[in-house]
Amino acid sequence: MIILGIETSCDETAAAVVENGTKEICSVVASSKEFHEKTGGVVPEVAARKQVEAITPVIAACFEKFKEAKRLGSLDECYKLIDAVSVTIGPGLVGSLIVGIEAAKALSLALKKPLIPVNHLVGHIYANFIGNDKVVEFPSIALLVSGGHTDLVLIKGHGNFEYLGGTLDDAAGEAFDKVARLLGLSKYLGGVFLSKKAEECEENILEGKLPRPMLDQDNFDFSFSGLKTSSRRLIEENKYAAEAVACEFENAVVDVLVKKTIRAAKKYKVKTILLGGGVSANRVLRKRIREEAEKIGIITHVPPISLCTDNAVYIAGAAFFNNKQVKYEKLDANPSLGIMDRF
Ligand SMILES: Nc1ncnc2c1ncn2[C@@H]1O[C@H](COP(=O)(O)OP(=O)(O)OP(=O)(O)O)[C@@H](O)[C@H]1O
Ligand SMILES: [Mg+2]
């Protein structure tokens, strides 16, 4: 089954074509990041306007790439090969979401193809299936760590999720971004820069200086806002090099994420662990979770780095495994959709 995916939940405008939920045929991502760097955060109105500018060229470029990849003679042949159109319906910024949704509806109508809505957070998890030559066995624990969310879910099968816990305040990605900003590394989306800075640290001289929030609590919830405040205080002491603070901060976040995920994996006797969301690109998190899971005989799957942050490949992938088709008049944006919400 060949699915066209469309993703416009925030500041990326993306379209992709994926075969059978696992094989990426082509992908196009445009980003309005540079505009949000200037303001140090996303201005929803600006993001929505940039979505409007980008959506048609991105979809057109995606079809061109599809034509090339399949060595087809015309775009009409491409359209015939598409079996369904899938689109992110939430969570995200309403103005941005609407742009992708309306484009998907128009395409579905014009090409006479079914329409599949996708929860963006579920999409992040399905990045694990793209180009993965191993079978992902269930039950599985998925740790979703993105810019806006941190959730731990038990996956019993496709579309069969049980919510185990999540952050009570800030997402892990938001904490990375805030501390990166406090360290003067980047005003916007600084997680990757903080991680690079931490790599410069040869020895963690600040080990244990920052809290590991909620680690001792017998639940699967997280909290990162206090860690942000403690990091700010440490930085304000002006005694430590940025790489030392970055290293201790990264370790504190990773300690909590890994230990709680492993605890859940043991409790629910899962076969696999899946990571998803932008923070799953973090090299320390990927390494530590793999090492700890291996010790208890559990296989860890991680998405390719390029598919950790927002794109349409995993939207089309998730649509294949959760193929709930809807009529276009029933499709609407849902900005506050949670990981357990269906439509
Ligand atoms: N290597 C890295 N280490 C730590 N954090 C990272 C890394 N790479 C990206 N991130 C963080 O990932 C986040 C972006 O992830 P993503 O694109 O999934 O979030 P989002 O789409 O904005 O939020 P959501 O998916 O919750 O709606 C940012 O907070 C960014 O700093
Ligand atoms: Mg995302």
Numbered ranges of CATH 3.30.420.40 in the chain: 2-126+307-330, 137-303
Name the closest-CA residue to atom 24, ligand 1: 148
Indicate which ligand has the atom closest to the C-alpha of 246: 1
| pLDDT value of position 342 | 80
148 lines ligand 1 (CB under 6 A): yes
Pocket test for ligand 1, best of 189, 280, 289 (most atoms within 8 A of CB): 189
Distance 202 CA to ligand 2 centre (A): 31
CATH: 3.40.1550.10, 3.40.50.720, 3.40.1080.20, 3.30.420.40. Which one for 2-126+307-330? 3.30.420.40
DSSP 164-191: EEEBSS--HHHHHHHHHHHTTS-SSS-H
Helices in 137-241 by DSSP H: which ranges? Answer: 172-182, 191-199, 225-236
pTM above 0.85, yes or no: yes
Residue among 12, 9, 3 at smallest CA distance from 337: 9
Establish whether residue 279 lines the binding site of ligand 1, counting it when its CB lies within 6 angstroms of any ligand atom. yes
| Probe target for ligand 1 pocket from 36, 146, 186, with the most ligand atoms within 8 Å of CB | 146
**145 DSSP β-pair partners:** 150
At the top level of CATH, the class of 137-303 is: alpha beta
Query: What is the per-residue pLDDT for 40?
Result: 86
**271/251 Cα distance (integer angstroms):** 26
User: Residue 84 in contact with residue 105, Cβ under 8 Å?
Assistant: no
Nearest alpha carbon, ligand 1 atom 8: 192
Q: Mind listing the pLDDT tens digit of every residue in the chain (343 residues)? A: 999 999 999 999 999 999 999 999 999 999 998 898 889 889 999 999 999 999 999 999 999 999 999 999 999 999 999 999 999 999 999 999 999 999 999 999 999 999 999 999 999 999 999 999 999 999 999 999 999 999 999 999 999 999 999 999 999 999 999 999 999 999 999 999 999 999 999 999 999 999 999 999 999 999 999 999 999 999 999 999 999 999 999 999 999 999 999 999 999 999 999 999 999 999 999 999 999 999 999 999 999 999 999 999 999 999 999 999 999 998 999 999 999 998 6
Q: Is the CB of 96 under 6 A from ligand 1?
A: no
Instruction: Tell whether ligand 1 has an atom less than 6 A from the beta carbon of residue 310.
Output: yes
Distance between first and last Cα of the chain: 22
